[in-house]
Amino acid sequence: MSTIALLTLVNDRAQFDACQASLRLDAQPFPEWLAVEPNKNGWNAAQGLNHGLERLAADWIVCVHQDVLFPRGFWARLGR
């Protein structure tokens, strides 16, 4: 079985929290999800994403914008 992790660049914690909350409604167990705050490190988006990709060891890594709200049933449709 393939593992899936999520990666998000974050500069607005409230948006990110809402994004995670929308997936928690369906994803059990909840997947690994790395939040990277590139601005705090002086990174651009590419540097932030590369940092996250280097740290996650999943078979599939889904890069998610912090303002995404997942619709009900998304996790099942993803193939879990």
One-letter amino acid at 11 equals N
How far from 22 is each of 2, 40, 71, CA to CA, in Å? 22, 26, 7
Whether the per-residue pLDDT at 80 is higher than 60: the answer is: no
**pLDDT (0 to 100) of residue 49:** 97
**39 three-class SS:** helix
Summarised one tens digit per residue, pLDDT across range 14-30 is 999 999 999 998 898 89
- Could you tell me the strand order of the sheet in which 4-9 lies? 32-36, 4-9, 60-63
The rounded Cα 55 to chain-centroid distance in angstroms is: 13
pTM to 2 decimals? 0.91
Whether the per-residue pLDDT at 79 is higher than 70: the answer is: no
